[in-house]
Chains A and B, each alone.
Chain A
Amino acid sequence: MSDFPFLSVLTVAPLVGAVVVALLPRSRPTLAKQVALGWSLLVLALSIVMWVTWQVDGQRFQFRESYPWIPNWGVNFTFAADGIALVMLMLIAVLVPLVILASWHDAESSKRSVPAYFALLLVLECTMLGVFAAADVFLFYVFFEVMLVPMYFLIGSYGGHQRQYAAVKFFLYSLVGGLFMLAAVIGLWVVGGKTFDWVALSEVDISTGAERWLFLGFFIAFAIKAPFFPFHTWLPDAGGAAPAGAAALLVGVLDKVGTFGILRYCLPLFPDAAQWFAPWALAIAVIGIIYAALLAVGQNDLKRLVSYTSIAHFGFIGVGIFAFTTQAGTGAVLYMVNHGLATGLLFLVVGMLVARRGSALISDFGGAGKLVPVLAGVLFFAGLASLALPGTAPFVSEFLVLIGTFTVNKPVAVIATLGIILAAAYVLWMVQRTTQGTLNPALTEIDGMKRDLNLREKFVVAPLIALIVLLGFYPKPVTDVINPAIQATMEDVGRTDPAPTAVQEAAR
């Protein structure tokens, strides 16, 4: 079974689905939704089979396939997944059906073609899966760039207020990063002996100067994508304007490409440069944690607030990556998954709330919990997960990042911990102002606010809540997959974990 070409089939399948959905007549929106949902469930089923087939003790890269593409340049369709990629692929496969289900009525309000919306979602899924499954730098770059196009149209055509501005800003920021990366990709190709194969490139010796420039080219692209401070300003606009489902994918998955890229490309391919730049990367990550959290506290727009919380969380992931310990690295990858679940849930719930109220402003709410108690409860849970309450999955990852960092870099760990306090502030204050307190009389006049979660919406949030709780108590299945990949990455960088203090003292 492990000979089955999982990764290529997984990547191509949503694209086929997208074509099918796009060809459906505009007058049959329900059929389009059903086909899209069915197709994404099919992808999910396939990915579960892949997860089961994965050998935890096996090689670092599994499911490797390679087909020639442009032989003149040494470009191949090479797919291979390590543990990090595997968990991200799973995250995508889980999130997309839920997003499709949650976006059931989103496209109808925009006067645009409904089938096109769901086709775009499936195209997006194809490119997202491809970017994580690629093991050829050229192929990765292709997916990295093409991914922009469906997202651009999702935001620009189906978004809310200021969607044009947000879509263009998103596209230009990402394209700028992508072009930096293109220069670095070409440079890597030249110094690497005209191959794009990841394995071959990771064994190439590069001169110090060239290595640093190439690292920087890749890093800027990923830092914009992630986004890290100070490249983050596009995300609140894009997250605020995108339809809730697309925003959940944007923040939950698309942005992880940045942190994944750092782990897969920046660290193993340019290990010395990565160490050289690490203090700077840590600095911007820590600044991001505090700065974005402070901005989140001051937001009055729910979707923008969630976007800012994500930037703060990406700071944590950045700290975890550049601490160069196995614990912190595993924590960072686990954070990528958990953040996808928690923030995905938060975005979807906020989207449900916004759709009912017709406004994303916190000041337009107040006491909403009295009208829609279940929805308010889910929002509260999503908020708690987002602030990493013990018992929810993000707690495990945040804790791993912090202890992993503390062993090697105490000041960074201490400052980052402050971010947790700020997280409590922005989440709890947001929950309090929207769902608690006295009821805003304006809300009672809105019909939408009288409808609590319906069955469809419960089906959307239930799996996410279950996963968050499950991984909060028992993260082992996921960490078992991540750990070997992180250990291999840290070996590439040439860092080993410091021995526990007790052992050090015993040695004296």
Chain B
Amino acid sequence: MNEFELPPIDYAALAPILIMMGAAVVGVLVEAFVPRRLRHPIQLPLALLAVLAALTMVVFNADKRLITIGVIAIDGPTLFLQGGILVLSAVALLLIGERAIERGGAFVAQAAITADSPDDRRQAQRAGGAGEVYPLVTFAIGGMLIFVSANDLLTMFIALEVFSLPLYLLCALARRRRILSQEAAMKYFLLGAYASAFFLFGLALLYGFTAGLGDRPAGVDFATIHAAVANSTQSPVLLFAGMALVAIGLLFKAAAAPFHVWTPDVYQGAPTPVTGFMAACTKVAAFGALLRVFHVAFEGARWDFTPVLGVVAVLTMLVGAVFAVTQTDIKRLLAYSSIANAGYLLVGVLAPGANGLSGTMFYLVAYGFAVLAAFAVVTLVRDADGEATHLSRWAGLGRRSPLYAAVFTFILLAFAGIPLTSGFTSKFAVFGPALEGGQVWLVIAGVLTSMVLAFPYLRVVVMMWLSEPGESTPTVTVPGGLTSAALVIGVIATLVLGVAPGPLLDLASGAAEFVR
């Protein structure tokens, strides 16, 4: 009988993932065994503490550069992105945990009850419940942490499912506008399932491609794929098809055109705190994976994928910018803006070398803070029917509540890339390396679409400040402490990263090297 030897495991390196997963399991147990009224007061601190503990471990691991049990790479980008995801998740959790704005919070407990049935209406009116969101979010965070550190495609696939499934469910939990919420979840789930299937199929093809390596067994870890790209005897069709299918799976999560169609509907239908969570953290995770796959596994095929991904980037920027112009709903507008930002991020992904990598990572974190602050404001502008997301309802908001209108204006100026906001420094951080790498056309496309995109942002600013408040202008709810905290963190981060981006840039460029 063969002696089965366990691979050496560096538990400290895995600690952030283990902590989040453990917290999620504890969260499920709390939901099952703790009396209803105690659940919320336990769940939120539990989730936040877990995030803080995981973050501490990330900081503790800061100098680690290793691949543990063959599938998890702990290196600069992993640690930076894990840290980014955790910090942004903490802010998102503050929004998710807010109960002062709406009685019982923005969530209901059961997603699958037929919308608008008496049962559904009863659960929408009931104050309590919906502690389920915390374990779901914690699982999703854990999945994202694995996703950005996965060093083979199979682990990456599992991580993809681990963080996607809770997100599908979270989308369906909105307390208001239940049909829209359920529709969003359904759409996200179906399209996400397709995307996963694409990813899996691409994985299989790549496995076949690596079989052509004479000296080592076939596999889907990135080192093997990297070696196979250089000297596999298999047909390159397998490589290209596999690469394309894997890319589709990832680009779907990143909301890049033409795989973006779910984004506006899901962003609109999902409960706003969850939308913020997706816009900030899912983006980090998806682009973290894209960076690793294209910079590590497919690095040798750079000349083959750059034109194609470049076209995707230009298309994404164009679709995001042009469609944003026509939107009349603030959440949909932010969704298209997030699509356009995916395009700018792709420019960073395609910029070769460490500068492109660090620029993209900087962009991800900076954008995450801004977008969380934006959705935090959206949760505050409400009337008797919940959030008032139609743009016409925002007319004259600057007169009614100048403070929140000013905050939102600042965020919009950041999105438009005005200097002294993080939007400007992050655009610089990706366009600079791209131009350095000779991707002039991508930068020009980025600049041109930024011009188009400025228009919808400006329209909202005009609405808020220069229009007279109408009868239907909703009031801004005084936020609870949690939303205020999230808003303050988001705005300060946007300002600081715009005025003094130095420290984070240092951190990013110090982290910009993958282990192989």
Give the B-binding residues of A (Cβ under 8 A): 69-73, 141-142, 145-146, 148-149, 153, 156-157, 163-164, 167-168, 171-172, 175-176, 179-180, 182-183, 186-187, 189-190
Contacts and interface: CB of A to CB of B under 8 A. Distances in A.
Given A148-B418, A157-B466, A180-B447, 6 more contacts: A69-B502, A146-B419, A157-B465, A164-B466, A175-B451, A179-B451
Interface residues of B, number: 35
Nearest to B509: A72
Interface string B290-332: 0000000000000000000000000000000000000000000
B455 interface: yes
Given A172-B455, A186-B435, A190-B432, A164 B501 contact: no
Across chains A and B, which 9 residue pairs bring their CB atoms closest together, nearest first?
Answer: A142-B419, A72-B505, A164-B466, A183-B447, A156-B466, A179-B447, A176-B451, A145-B419, A190-B435
B80 interface: no
A70 B413 CA distance: 21
7 contacts: A142-B420, A163-B466, A164-B467, A168-B459, A171-B458, A180-B447, A183-B443
A149 B450 CA distance: 17
Contacts of B413: 149
B419 A141 contact: yes
Interface string B488-504: 00000000000011100
B428 A172 contact: no
Interface in B391-440: 413, 416-420, 424-425, 427-428, 431-432, 435-436, 440
Contacts of B509: 72
Nearest to A184: B447
Contacts of B500: 69-70
A58 B438 CA distance: 42
Nearest to B418: A145
Best-buried of A149, A156, A179 by chain B (most CB within 10 Å): A179
B362 to A, nearest CB: 10
A70 B501 contact: yes
B418 A168 contact: no
Task: Decide if the interface of chain A is mainly helix, strand, loop or mixed.
Answer: helix
B62 interface: no
A182 B465 contact: no
Contact of A187 (B428, B435, B454): B435
A24 B506 CA distance: 40
Interface in B456-495: 458-459, 462, 465-467
Contact of A175 (B416, B440, B443, B465): B416
Contacts of B458: 168, 171-172
Nearest to A213: B440
Nearest to B443: A183
Given A163-B466, A175-B451, A71 B416 contact: no
Contacts of A164: 462, 466-467
Best-buried of B444, B458, B505 by chain A (most CB within 10 Å): B458
Best-buried of A142, A156, A167, A182 by chain B (most CB within 10 Å): A182
Nearest to A139: B419
A176 B435 CA distance: 19
A189 B432 contact: yes
A72 B465 contact: no
B502 A70 contact: yes
Nearest to A180: B447
Contacts of A182: 417, 427-428, 431, 447
A176 B455 CA distance: 10
Contacts of A141: 419
Contacts of B436: 190
B418 A72 contact: no
Contact of A172 (B431, B454, B467, B505): B454
A137 to B, nearest CB: 12
Nearest to B362: A72
Contacts of A149: 413, 418
A71 B502 contact: yes
A167 B462 contact: yes
Nearest to A113: B402
Contacts of A146: 418-420
Contacts of A179: 417, 447-448, 450-451
A168 B464 CA distance: 13
B171 to A, nearest CB: 35
A144 to B, nearest CB: 8
Contacts of B459: 168
Contacts of B420: 142, 146
A164 B467 CA distance: 8
Contacts of A175: 416, 451, 454
A476 B432 CA distance: 45
A153 B410 CA distance: 13
Contacts of B432: 73, 186, 189-190
A146 B516 CA distance: 43
A71 B431 CA distance: 17
B507 to A, nearest CB: 10
Nearest to A145: B419
Contacts of A180: 447
Contacts of B462: 156, 164, 167-168
A446 B450 CA distance: 49
A169 to B, nearest CB: 10
A289 to B, nearest CB: 29
Nearest to B427: A182
Contacts of B506: 72
A163 B466 CA distance: 9
B419 A186 contact: no
A197 B505 CA distance: 20
Interface string B344-371: 0000000000000000000000000000
Nearest to A141: B419
A146 B362 CA distance: 22
A69 to B, nearest CB: 8
Given A157-B465, A186-B431, A72 B502 contact: yes
A145 B419 CA distance: 7
Contacts of B431: 182-183, 186
Contacts of B418: 145-146, 148-149
Nearest to A163: B466
A153 B466 CA distance: 9
A489 B362 CA distance: 39
A187 B428 CA distance: 11
Interface string B253-279: 000000000000000000000000000
A182 B451 CA distance: 11
A157 B448 CA distance: 28
A71 B444 CA distance: 26
B502 to A, nearest CB: 5
B201 to A, nearest CB: 39
A186 B466 contact: no
A73 B465 contact: no
A475 B444 CA distance: 45
Contact of A70 (B416, B450, B466, B505): B505
A146 B498 CA distance: 12
Contacts of B424: 142, 145
A142 B413 CA distance: 13
B421 to A, nearest CB: 10
A241 to B, nearest CB: 11
Best-buried of B417, B419, B444 by chain A (most CB within 10 Å): B419
A183 B372 CA distance: 28
A342 to B, nearest CB: 31
B465 A153 contact: yes
A204 to B, nearest CB: 15
